[in-house]
Amino acid sequence: MKKEQLKSFILTVLILIAVFLTTQIWFDKKLWPNGYNFFNSIEKMPVVGQIIDKFSTNKALNTASSFEDIMLPYRMIVSGANNARSVYLQDSSEYTVIKEKAFDVLDHLYATDIPKYTVISGGEWFQSLKGNSILMDYGTTMNLKLMLQIRKKPDSAISTLIEGFSEIIITPNDTESGGVYVYMRDNKSESYYRFSIAYDKQEVRNIIETYIGQKQQKYAFAFELNLQKTDKSIDVPVDRMYLDPLVLLPLDRVEKKPVLHMGNPFLKDVNTTVYEQVVQAFDLQPNNLRRSVNSNGTVSYIENKATVDISPNGRIDYKAVDENSGMLAETLYDKVNLVWEIASKQYNITVPNQPFVARINSDLSATNQENVSITMNYLYGGIPIIVDPASAGNDSCITAEFSENRLIKFSMLVRSIQKLEENSDAPFVLEALDKIYPIAHKNEQIDKVFTCYVVNEQEQTHNSSITWSVMQSNNIIIAK
Amino acid sequence: MVKKILLSLTLVCLIFSTVVLAAPGYVYLGDSGNTSGLITITRPDKDKDFSYDQGYYFSGIGKNGISVTLYRYDPNIGAYAKLYSNGAEQTFWVGASGFFWATLYLNYGDNYFIARAEDYNGTYQICPFLLTYQSSSMRGITVNFSDLPFVSSW
C-alpha cells in the first residue's frame, strides 16, 4: 500500500512539474529561443487570427483608419451649374455617401470585360469639371491594381491603360446614349480617357443635386482662372509662380477649424512595457535585444538583424542591419499593409486612448515595386497633419523604405492629437500664396495647395491652427 | 496767422492726398491710362468672353502693391461706374504672389468692364474687357460681339 501511495505521490508531483514547466515555456519569454513565439505563429493562421481579433480587447477605436481607409480619396468635389462647387473631406457623412456612390459606379466600370473608352484631350478632361460632376481627388498618385486588391476586386482590363492616377471624374452622360462617363488620366503617359458605362445617370445626378450645397461660386480651379502655365505672354515684369491646373482655390476664407493640441506621449515617464511593445511591433523580442540608453535619452534596442531607437522627442526608428535583414513584403500590397500594420500598432501602443487616423501621401505608381518609399500623414477632420520640414528634415509623420522587398527603414513621429475648444481661421489662400512667394521657386509649377495642421518635431507639446501649405517639386512650403 | 496758414496747408494736403489715392468713381470714355505693364488679365484671356453662368471668374497677374478697381459701363451715365459688392467698392491689392481674382456678376447680354490698376505713384493702366452673359439655351450658337463704347485699347 505504501508503495502505491508513493507512486501516486511521485506521479502527481511529476505531472504538476510538467504543467508548471509547460506554462513557463508558453508564457515566459526568457525561455524562448531567439525570435521564436509559439503564439505569434498561431495568431497568424487565418481562422485563428480572426477568432482572436473578435475577442481581443486591444482593438483600435471604431473610428480608426482601416487599411482601406488609408487609400481613400483625400476629398470629394461636387460641381454643378453656375460654377457651384462643394468640397467634402474624409470625416464627413456626406463624403461617405458620395464615396459609396462613386465606388459603385467604378465597380461597374472595373467589372466590364471590354470597357468602352475614348482617348480625349486634356481640355476636354478639364471641361468635364465645369458642369455636373463628382471629382475624386486622391491627392497623390495611386496604383490602380493595388486599389483593386485592397477593395478585394479582381484585376480590371483598365489597369492596362491606367497605371497611376490622381483623380477620377464621374459625370452623367447627357447625350442620347445616356449612362455615365468616368474620366481618368494616366499620370505616367499623360493620356486622358473617357469611359462610357451603362449606369443610371439619374442616380449620379441625384447625388450631385443633393450635395452641391449652396448654389454659389465658392471654389475655382486654377485652370478656370488661367493661373496655370499658358502660352499667353504676361506684360507684367514679375517672376511668376504657376499653379497646377487642378489646384482648387477657395474664393473666400475657408470655414473655421478647431485648434489642435499636439503632445509627445514620451514626454512623461513611460513604462518599460511600452518600449517593449514598440519593439515587438517590429516582430522583434526585446528580451533578446541589447538595450541601451544614449546620452540624449534615446532608448535603443540592438539585434543582429535590426535596431530600434525610441527617442524622447517621440520618434520611433527601425533600421535593418542590411538589405537581407529587414521584414519581408513581396508585393506592393504587402508593403503598404505592413506599413499600415506597424504604424497603427505603434500608435495604439503609445497613444492608446486615441484612434489612429491616417492616409497615404506617397506616389504608389512606381514600376519598380521592390524598392519603394511609402509615407503617411495623420488626419484630423479629414485635414492632413504634416511635419514642419524645418524641424525634421522631412514632412511626413510616417516614412518607410523598402529595398529588395524588405523593410529597411521605418520612422514614425508619434503625437497625441486633441481638439481644443477654440477654433481658428485659415488665412485667405491668396494671403498664403503671397507669404510663400518669397521662398518658392519662381517660374516653376506649384503642384498642390492645401490646408493642413503642422507638427513641430522639436516642440514636445504645442498648439496647431489650420494653415496653408504648397507642394512644389516634391517639397512642402508652409505659409508662416 | 502763421498757425492758420499751416493748418490750411495741412488740410489741403490731406484732402488732396485722399483725392489722389482713391480710385475715381467713374472712368470716362477715352481714358486709356498713362502706363502699361501693371497688370495682365488672364481671364478673360482675350479681352472678350461669354458665359452661360451669371457668375464669372475674373483673374490676372500684377505687380506687388498695385491696386485694382473694377468698373462696369453704365449707358445711363455714359461712363464706367465703380463696382460695389455688399456696399464695399470692388478694389483689391495685388500681393507678392502677383495673383488676383474676383467673381463678377453679369447682367444678361453684354457687360463692358474695366479693370483700373494704379501704382503708388499715381500711374494707372486701363484694361477693358467684354463679358457676354448668354442663356444656357444658346449653347453652341456663335455670337458676334458688339462694339465697345470706345476703342482705344480694342
For the stretch B81-132, pLDDT in tens is 999 887 888 898 999 999 999 889 999 999 999 999 999 998 999 999 999 9
- Is residue A333 over pLDDT 80? yes
Q: For A329-356, what is the mean pLDDT? A: 94
Residue B80: name the closest of B33, B125, B128 by CA: B128
Chain B CB contacts of A216 under 8 Å are: 55
A433/B99 Cβ within 8 A: yes
* Candidates B45, B51, B97, partner chain A, best to mutate (most A CBs within 10 A): B97
B55 Cβ under 8 Å from any chain A Cβ:
yes
Within A321-380, strands assigned E span 327-328, 358-360, 372-380
B38 Cβ under 8 Å from any chain A Cβ:
yes
Output the pLDDT for position B12: 62
- Is residue A233 over pLDDT 80? no
A240/B61 Cβ within 8 A: yes
Chain A CB contacts of B90 under 8 Å are: none
- Is residue B78 over pLDDT 70? yes
| pTM score, whole prediction | 0.82
For the stretch A373-420, pLDDT in tens is 999 999 999 999 999 988 887 889 999 999 999 999 999 999 999 999
- Is residue A190 over pLDDT 60? yes
For the stretch A117-171, pLDDT in tens is 999 999 999 999 988 999 999 999 999 999 999 888 888 888 889 989 999 999 9
**Residue B54 and residue B51: Cα distance in Å, rounded?**
7
Residues near A59 by beta carbon (within 8 Å), at least 6 away in sequence: A53
Output the pLDDT for position A47: 56
**Residue A401 and residue A370: Cα distance in Å, rounded?**
10
Output the pLDDT for position B13: 58
CB distance A477 to A450 below 8 Å: no
Return residues 91-150 of B near A (CB < 8 Å). Answer: 95-101, 103, 136
Residue of higher predicted confidence among B6 and A465: A465
| Chain A residues interacting with chain B (CB cutoff of 8 angstroms) | 81-83, 216-217, 220, 224-227, 230, 232, 234-238, 240-241, 249, 251, 430-431, 433-438
Output the pLDDT for position A219: 92
CB distance A95 to A88 below 8 Å: yes
Residue A456: name the closest of A436, A478, A433 by CA: A478
Q: What is the mean pLDDT of chain B?
A: 82
Output the pLDDT for position A262: 94
CB distance A66 to A344 below 8 Å: no
Confidence of residue B15 (pLDDT cuts 50, 70, 90): low
Residues near B142 by beta carbon (within 8 Å), at least 6 away in sequence: none
**Residue A219 and residue A241: Cα distance in Å, rounded?**
20
ipTM of the complex: 0.78
Chain A CB contacts of B98 under 8 Å are: 236, 238, 240-241, 437
Which three cell numbers, joined as nine digits, stand for A461?
A: 507639446
Q: CA A156 → CA A114, A124, A142, A149, A160, distances in Å?
A: 9, 24, 15, 10, 8
| Beta partners for residue A468, in sequence order | A451
B43/A430 Cβ within 8 A: no
B45 Cβ under 8 Å from any chain A Cβ:
yes
Output the pLDDT for position A340: 95
- Is residue B72 over pLDDT 60? yes
For the stretch A12-41, pLDDT in tens is 999 999 998 888 777 655 455 444 444 444
- Is residue A341 over pLDDT 70? yes
Q: For A410-432, what is the mean pLDDT? A: 93
Chain B CB contacts of A249 under 8 Å are: 101
Give how far A141 is from chain B: nearest CA, Å.
27
- In chain A, the residue whose alpha carbon lies closest to the alpha carbon of B92 is A430
Work out how many CB contacts closer than 8 A connect A with B: 83
Confidence of residue B145 (pLDDT cuts 50, 70, 90): very low
Q: What is the mean pLDDT of chain A?
A: 87
B54 Cβ under 8 Å from any chain A Cβ:
yes
- Is residue A326 over pLDDT 50? yes
For the stretch A41-64, pLDDT in tens is 454 455 554 555 445 443 333 367
Output the pLDDT for position A36: 46
Residue of higher predicted confidence among A114 and A359: A359
